[in-house]
Amino acid sequence: MNYQWYPGHMTKAKRMMQENIKLIDLIIEVVDARIPFSSRNPDIDELGKNRARLILLNKSDLADERENEKWAEYFKSKGYYVVKLNAKSGAGIKGVLPVVMESCKEKLERDRKRGIINRPIRAMVVGIPNVGKSTFINAFAGKACTKTGNKPGVTKGKQWIRINKNVELLDTPGILWPKFEDQSVGAKLAMVGSIKDEILNLEELSLELLKYLHESYEGVLTKRYDIEESENALSMLEQVAENRKCIQKGNELDYLKAANILLEEFRNGKIGKITLEKPEA
């Protein structure tokens, strides 16, 4: 894995997160809408106790809309606020601010009762690597953002981005570590491209993806690659290789090239809008 999370790394990341969480009212957690469970780390629930919570289903344009809805309902039932978006294109970004305000209305009410007026909501963006945290921060803050710099009482070196007079964002996202104990989690992170391809067996990964697509989205492979779908993932990869002219020296089929095509086209949505996991019943 290109994220070698040793206990030291985890402890440091956790400590930084704990320090930062003391300063904030709201945790904005970015997950990949195609793998909302596998792209989040449950430790954040412990770290973020007693804070308002917002989950952003990022890259939702690449995911199955029916599953997006189910995941949104699932997270809402657990007490989170949820927004579906695509940080890269900016779709859904406008919907974030009203939800930020809504999620902190109790805090604003408490402030008002204490006579504290105009104290901005402070938020921090967290998530595992490669889910789009920085892309979201840039899209949310927009070009007009000004870093408010060090304020009295704020830990030295902390930069706050002023979104508007009501909301400030810590400029460094909190990095959570992926949970690789479960092999299927690692595979799903790899399928969406969250782990560097150089360290993976792409043929094996593509066979797992083919199997899942055939079982959960029957017909999409036939439509995209004109192949006969079956339980036999290797036979499907062979057909993709043949139909896409993936031939190497000696007129042999080039499985690696076919695997690369399949994964690339899955990641950029050409095979269809696909979600790799469903919420727990």
Q: What mean pLDDT is predicted for residues 178-199?
A: 82
Can you give the CATH number for the domain in which 159 is found? Answer: 3.40.50.300
Can you give the CATH number for the domain in which 233 is found? Answer: 1.10.1580.10
Residues 6+ apart with CB under 8 A from 87: 30, 56, 58, 59, 93, 132, 135, 136, 138, 139, 140
pLDDT at 221: 98
Handedness of CA 127, 132, 136, 137 (dihedral sign): positive
Q: What mean pLDDT is predicted for residues 255-264?
A: 97
pLDDT at 7: 64
Whether residue 101 contacts residue 81, with contact meaning beta carbons closer than 8 Å, is answered with: no
Handedness of CA 193, 93, 216, 280 (dihedral sign): positive
Q: Are 222 and 123 within one domain? A: no
Whether residue 55 contacts residue 37, with contact meaning beta carbons closer than 8 Å, is answered with: no
Q: Which domain holds residue 218?
A: 201-267
pLDDT tens digits, 99-156:
999 999 998 899 999 998 888 999 999 988 888 888 899 899 885 454 554 444 444 4
Q: Are 38 and 158 within one domain? A: yes
Domains: count for the chain: 2
The rounded mean pLDDT for the chain is 88
Residue 274 falls inside a structural domain = no
Whether residue 272 contacts residue 63, with contact meaning beta carbons closer than 8 Å, is answered with: no
Tell me the whole-structure pTM to 2 decimals: 0.89
Residue 224 falls inside a structural domain = yes
Rounded Cα distance between 59 and 63, Å, is 7
- Nearest of 182, 125, 127, 129 to residue 3 by alpha carbon: 129
